[in-house]
């Protein structure tokens, strides 16, 4: 979504997409040393800061740390005591319209701290769709509830990513 300072900012993409020249001419590469990308903080009611600048290197470093820190779940639970990580679920068969509950065990989580950022994506799963429904903190753990919003049951693993 376009923000106050990002509306109309050119995309970073190839000069051609599927053989069609992109107009206006896009940026094709950013220097990781001195370029900055605008990120909207989505703070409510004009709370500051509304936007921050991050470098491509910072984004890549965060992604690398996320990928490096992994755990595989057993019985809908996985333990990873890092600030970010990726947890691969066991094979799931959650029906369309049903919820799936997953517990992230992490010593950095406190019942009074802000909830972690959590996302769910397909691992080997090829059916259904998923959204984050609810996240609840407790001491050393958070419980995430995901809904299958698709029309078919899940049929494989899911990748759950988090950042505390």
- Number of folded domains that form the chain: 2
Do residues 102 and 120 both lie within one domain?
yes
End-to-end CA distance of the chain: 24
Per-residue pLDDT of 130-157, as tens digits, reads 989 999 999 999 999 999 999 999 999 9
Nearest to 159 by CA among 99, 98, 104: 104
Do residues 76 and 146 both lie within one domain?
yes
Assign 11 to helix, strand or coil: coil
Per-residue pLDDT of 88-146, as tens digits, reads 999 999 999 999 999 999 999 999 988 888 888 899 999 988 989 999 999 999 999 99
Do residues 74 and 153 both lie within one domain?
yes
Residue 2 within any structural domain of the chain: no
Residue 142 within any structural domain of the chain: yes
Do residues 78 and 107 both lie within one domain?
yes
Domain hosting 33: range is 16-63
5 C-beta neighbours (distance < 10 Å), count: 12
Nearest to 64 by CA among 80, 81, 86: 86
Do residues 148 and 82 both lie within one domain?
yes
């Amino acid at each position: 979504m376009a923000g106050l300072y990002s509306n109309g900012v050119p995309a970073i993409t190839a000069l051609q997409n599927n053989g069609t020249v992109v107009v206006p001419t896009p940026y094709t590469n950013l220097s990781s040393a001195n370029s900055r990308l605008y990120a909207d903080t989505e703070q409510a009611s004009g709370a500051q800061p509304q936007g921050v600048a991050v470098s491509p290197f910072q984004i890549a470093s965060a992604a690398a740390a996320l990928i490096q820190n992994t755990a595989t779940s057993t019985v809908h639970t996985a333990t990873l005591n890092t600030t970010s990580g990726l947890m691969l679920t066991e094979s799931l068969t959650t029906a369309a319209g049903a919820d799936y509950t997953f517990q992230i065990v992490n010593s950095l989580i406190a019942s009074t701290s802000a909830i972690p950022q959590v996302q769910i994506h397909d691992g080997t799963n090829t059916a259904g769709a998923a959204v984050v429904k609810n996240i609840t903190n407790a001491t050393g753990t958070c419980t995430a509830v995901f809904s299958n919003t698709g029309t078919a049951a899940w049929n494989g693993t899911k990748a759950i990513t988090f950042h505390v």
